[in-house]
Structure 1
């Protein structure tokens, strides 16, 4: 017996060198320069390490995010997938244990009117597959990788949900701001129109000036209606994300938002452990690796130990008689002889899928680096534009005030100058609002692209 055990242990050691028992290890990946710009190698601080409650401090936004995390259907489905993967992993662990069954049998028989014979068997049986060739081990490791993949997917859905809710909320604030600007502009044009109509009565203005002022007023009023429609549509869209019926959304104002002046991104290598979709792709690669090992295991035989024990009265004793012991033990080795070609094909498929998973993993890392770079550029560009547009708005407000005064008191400014100044101011204020939203959106995108909000 000892000799057989030594032989089996030696065989297992040899097979481990044939990759059947080899665990997954990450292949070399290149992360240098992944962000498209120089990042200090020792600067590991990142805004992704901040809880979302510390980045999104708006008192109306935080309850919305919590509501979305609790009620969003996509996130709920992702959580259920995690539970399914946990059950699958538990099942693969139980496969190491022997299967037990109870097989009671009773029989009554009589031939040609003879006395009835009563026999019974009360036996329990067990079967245990010896995992000598890594079949069960690779199945368990693959199930664990699948669980990690499902958990990473849940986190990816969560980070996307937080970013989408925040983005939708700040878009609402932007639309509110644009509606306020347009409404005030419409009121201003109404005042200008009244002034021109009064001047027309005394011969100080022309019909063309009055018509142009009225057209400008109507144009702004039309844009107000468009903005109101966009606000309602955005509220409805956000309500769906929150898992509630469409309705109004309580919110603050765009001017009251505060964010960090500087944003740290850390080093690209951190994306491997922090970004959920990258971890999901690597978990898929690990699962494919173990599937390949399992395909290799199919070339080796299956060893099963089984046995049974119980009582029987084969000689026709009474049912109440405990009968005699019935014991059996069987060891079986099964090796398929005619499906080697199929096993070779399955191994080729598994290897191809593993290579595919490796390419997907590398692509997910490149995509992550690209998104970080885009978000950084979006935030930096918006910051620079805001400084320029703020000066432009200040200058245009001065120009509007001056032309308005010249028109009202000295008639030295034409209606065309007033029209041009007001339209330029309206466009500049709307552009400033868009740039402010672009700046906030850059922060949201950067936080999401770095893997923030996963926990």
Structure 2
């Protein structure tokens, strides 16, 4: 039996390490971003710039702005507490964290194949010798190298690279889930605040209409008004009751949605400020579309999945080439247990094995085709993630300007309706107009009040959508003075 020295084994392992630098994976090239060079309506984007061009100073400042953390973007203490609880207790985020642990464990398993596995071995055997009743006894103790693959063509290395990119993609997915969770909690909280504000308006309106109905009833009893006027006042009371009951239900459901996101029952705390008093950051510069490639963790995750698919092609290609594995051992062998560590019992063994695929019924070709198709799918998914991100930012930018104008117009409309009601009531008191004119003005004023609250909610939600779409929400170290919402 050939008994090589430790120098022989070290030389073989060194050669295997050098040769394992060979890789059959295609050279990775990031696909061109299939988006326009500027956002529609974005003043921060530089005209004529390309998606891969260097950023201007303004665009670079925009990136710095987006890195502000959610504590700076949402300065209200109650909302901050809700977001912090959600980050700690939300079950979807816990699932994302566990997925990271799973991917990390998978990568550790796969990367371990790149290094030899050395085991301590102790064995004993007894067997007949075939002559008479003699029994042969053998004892062995030592170290063994269990079938270590000499990765000449990078199969193991590419599998390890694929597992690493899968692990990193899972981490990016968790960050994307965190950004989404922060935005969802903020939107659910603002929705609850909007319903609360509308409910207060409805309660005040109901009380006012009930007082007006009692007055109309007294006037009807003395013959100063008609039954039609009384019934019209009654319809306004009932419509206010309907609105109040509807808003109470919607507010309770919004609270339930917020509780689910936070992951625990909501603490009894004083109500937060109204929507007009919310001071979250609304003026967010968008920068260049190419910024999304580094800002958004979901895009980074999609690219890492693409890199993993690219590495799997290298592993599939390596399956067409010979696979060489090495089994070796060193230790002592003796036919007596007491003689294991005596002089002259040392033994070395090396057993290389070469496997050359000859006929596999197309299995290797099928695996390669599968790997190439999965890479093509990963390219499409990567490009789709970029297009989706671009659309989300573009939609938020387009809505931002129109919502600012809509709030101004809605406030002016509300002021006009309030003045109309004041004049209609004055005309009614002087006998110039009928009560129908007053009742119509009351109805329209209530609708205008409700619409203004909804428009303010849309404006704040739009700011959150833009913040999330631009990839903000992770860094909590940066600070930015908040701008009061309209």
* Equivalent residue in structure 1 for 2:140, among 102, 117, 121: 121
Partner of 2:307: 286
Q: Does 1:355 align with 2:376?
A: yes
Partner of 1:84: 102
* Equivalent residue in structure 2 for 1:394, among 415, 420, 436: 415
Q: What stretches of structure 1 move > 3 A for 4+ residues in a row?
A: 3-13, 30-34, 107-118, 245-251, 317-323
Comparing 160-169 and 90-99, the one that deviates more: 90-99
* Equivalent residue in structure 1 for 2:32, among 28, 36, 42: 28
User: Shift in Å at residue 304 of structure 1?
Assistant: 1.6
* Equivalent residue in structure 1 for 2:404, among 369, 378, 383: 383
Distance across 2 between alignment mates of 1:9 and 1:242: 51
Note the alpha carbon deviations across 1:298-333, whole angstroms, 9 max, x for none.
Answer: 11111222211112224xx46355352222112222
Note the alpha carbon deviations across 1:151-203, whole angstroms, 9 max, x for none.
Answer: 11101111110010000000011101111111111111112112212222332
Partner of 1:95: 113
1:60 partner SS = helix
* Equivalent residue in structure 2 for 1:191, among 202, 211, 215: 211
In the TM superposition, what are the counterparts of 1:362-441 in structure 2 within 5 Å?
A: 362-407=383-428, 409-441=429-461
1:103 partner SS = strand
Q: Does 1:297 align with 2:318?
A: yes
User: Shift in Å at residue 36 of structure 1?
Assistant: 3.1
Distance across 2 between alignment mates of 1:411 and 1:100: 104
* Superposition CA RMSD, Å: 2.7
* Equivalent residue in structure 1 for 2:163, among 143, 147, 172: 143
User: Shift in Å at residue 37 of structure 1?
Assistant: 3.9
**Given the superposition, is the C-alpha separation of residues 185 and 132 from structure 1 closer, same or farther in structure 2, using an over 3 Å criterion?**
same
Distance across 1 between alignment mates of 2:108 and 2:15: 31
User: Shift in Å at residue 273 of structure 1?
Assistant: 0.8
Indicate conservation of the 8 Å contact 1:168/1:238, yes or no: yes
**Given the superposition, is the C-alpha separation of residues 326 and 11 from structure 1 closer, same or farther in structure 2, using an over 3 Å criterion?**
closer
**Given the superposition, is the C-alpha separation of residues 395 and 156 from structure 1 closer, same or farther in structure 2, using an over 3 Å criterion?**
same
Distance across 1 between alignment mates of 2:438 and 2:202: 17
**Given the superposition, is the C-alpha separation of residues 37 and 294 from structure 1 closer, same or farther in structure 2, using an over 3 Å criterion?**
farther
2:139 partner SS = strand
User: Shift in Å at residue 48 of structure 1?
Assistant: 2.5
Indicate conservation of the 8 Å contact 1:123/1:326, yes or no: no
User: Shift in Å at residue 29 of structure 1?
Assistant: 2.2
Q: Does 1:175 align with 2:179?
A: no
Indicate conservation of the 8 Å contact 1:235/1:249, yes or no: no
Gaps of 5+ in 2: 1-7, 47-54, 476-486
Distance across 2 between alignment mates of 1:10 and 1:389: 72
Note the alpha carbon deviations across 1:191-219, whole angstroms, 9 max, x for none.
Answer: 21122122223322111101110111111
User: Shift in Å at residue 230 of structure 1?
Assistant: 1.0
2:216 partner SS = helix
Note the alpha carbon deviations across 1:367-417, whole angstroms, 9 max, x for none.
Answer: 11111111122222211111111111111111112222333x322221110
Distance across 2 between alignment mates of 1:346 and 1:372: 39
User: Shift in Å at residue 122 of structure 1?
Assistant: 1.7
Indicate conservation of the 8 Å contact 1:21/1:138, yes or no: yes
Indicate conservation of the 8 Å contact 1:386/1:432, yes or no: yes
1:319 partner SS = helix
User: Shift in Å at residue 8 of structure 1?
Assistant: 8.5
Distance across 2 between alignment mates of 1:117 and 1:319: 16
Considering Cα pairs closer than 8 Å and 6+ residues apart, tell me whether 1 or 2 has the greater RCO: 2
Partner of 1:73: 91
